[in-house]
Amino acid sequence: MNQELLNYIKQELSKGINKENITQSLTNAGWKIEDVDKAFIHLQPPSSNESRSDRLSSLLIRLGLAFVFLYAAIYMTFFPENYINYFPKFMRDLVPGYLLLHAFAVFEVVLSLFLIIGRFTFIAAIISFLTMFALTVVNMDRFSVLFRNVSIILSALALAIQSRKSK
């Protein structure tokens, strides 16, 4: 790439002159349009791996998943009797039911916070996927109520794939 050409374009851009005017000046001065276009491409900042729409999609999925976990955590805290039987009996036998519920509510709040702030997204997405998958599998007898979990499971999986792809 011709350094003189690059320096001229940088200088003109810093003066606020638009690309079309710079291109016109350079082609009038004898530069080939292909060389000018390549120079502009060369000067463009490297695009991030994630487009604006990818970031927005990630945010919306993260907020949707966080809402699911936060809502459940709050609801199970105030109405534990509605949630206690979603845990298998062997778990309730190992840990007293309400302690298990409250510990799970804390887990869901922490998971939601990671989803909201967007840190460790891949790990949070995998944990979301595994959590919802496990809750659904151990409660297959209630699938007529839990069928929506399939969408949540797939959303968590999509977030994991998307966050892995953007790295």
pLDDT classification of 55: cutoffs 50, 70, 90:
confident
pLDDT tens digits along 137-149: 999 999 888 899 9
Q: What per-residue confidence (pLDDT) applies to 153?
A: 96
Q: What per-residue confidence (pLDDT) applies to 97?
A: 80
pLDDT classification of 164: cutoffs 50, 70, 90:
confident
Percent of the chain with pLDDT over 90: 71
pLDDT classification of 47: cutoffs 50, 70, 90:
low
Residues 6 or more apart whose Cβ sits within 8 Å of residue 102 = 77, 80
Tell me the two tokens of residue 43.
């000067």
Of the two residues 45 and 137, the one the predictor is more confident about is 137
**Mean pLDDT score of the chain:** 91
Q: What per-residue confidence (pLDDT) applies to 52?
A: 80
Q: What per-residue confidence (pLDDT) applies to 119?
A: 86
Percent of the chain with pLDDT over 70: 95
For residue 16, what is the DSSP state? T
Over its C-alpha atoms, the chain yields an Rg (Å, rounded) of 26
Tell me the two tokens of residue 98.
């309400």
